[in-house]
Amino acid sequence: MQSKPIALTILDIVSVIVLGVSTYLALFFAPTEAVMGNVQRVFYFHVGTAWVGMVGFVLAAVSGIIYLITKDMKWDRIEVAAVEVSTMFFFLTIVLGSIWARPAWNTWWTWDPRLTTAAVTELIYVAYFMLRAGIEDPEKRARFGAVYTLLGGLSAPITFMVIRLFRTIHPVVIGGASAEAQGGFDMTADMRTTFFFALFAFTVLFVDFMWHRLRVGKLEEKVEQLKLKVSM
């Protein structure tokens, strides 16, 4: 195991700085939204975490497919790292959304398509970890993990489409919103700056976490090999 690369240390520092700046922008720089007031500020981090959550899940599904084709354990490490980091970010998205929904919709939770899809997706990835925990053989664990991320990645969009048949109140800030959406708003220029900076900040943070997790993944592999050596 090589020592921590300098680039990673730099990235750590950059992540902290951009997250700090993003927090400042969201809390102080962005104008207060006219109808919802300060609670709307949750939006910047809500979309930021959701964005990297989605990126991670897509990355995981793609790495899963590449793993099944190449059988290179590197892709398995990327897949686990992506799922783990994204599951955490996605959980934050749900929590932040709930905090916003309480004053905006007057409820912590509603079975709206986006919320339901988010919850089901989160459950799929929790199941993914339970599946992996039940398999000792690293090669089989990687194979099953890849198959399951693939199934999860396919079923999530269909879940979204199916639940949309029921009804939606989730606002769509970018692009057209449905007539029933509650709590939508138009972004001013300053809001847009804050919004895109939050996306950028969380992307940096995501890359940083991924890097750390990949290093841990390598260590895990080494530990497993050492254990095998001892038991022999």
Partner 1 sequence: MKTSAPSLLKATFAIVQKDLAAEFRSRELLSAMLVFSMLVILIFNFALELNIDARKSVTAGVLWTTFAFAGTLGLNRSMAVEKDRGCMDGLLLAPVDRSAIFFGKAISNLAFMLIVEAIVIPLYAMLYNETRIFQPEFLGVLLLGSIGYIAVGTLLSAMSVQTRTRDVLLPILLFPVAVPVLLASVKASGGIIANATFAEILTPLNLLIVYDVIFIAVSFMIFEFVVEE
d(CA 101, CA 115): 11
**x/- track of binding to partner 1 for residues 197-226 (CB under 8 A):** ------------------------------
Among 7, 34, 106, 134, binds partner 1 (CB under 8 A): 134
Helix (H) / strand (E) containing 183: none
Q: Which of 134, 122, 106 is nearest to 159 (CA)?
A: 122
Residue list 10-69, contact with partner 1 (CB under 8 A): 68
Q: What is the DSSP string of 46-94?
A: HHHHHHHHHHHHHHHHHHHHHHHHH--HHHHHHHHHHHHHHHHHHHHHH
Show contacts with partner 1 in window 145-174 (CB under 8 A).
146-148, 150-152, 154-155, 158-159, 161-163, 165-166
Query: Any contact of residue 186 with partner 1 (CB under 8 A)?
Result: no
Cβ at position 76, least distance to partner 1 in Å = 13
Q: Closer to partner 1 by CB, 88 or 135: give it.
A: 135
**Cβ proximity to partner 1, 164 vs 215, nearer residue:** 164
* 173 touches 185 (CB < 8 A): yes
Which token pair is 122?
């989160």
Q: Does 111 bind partner 1 (CB under 8 A)?
A: no
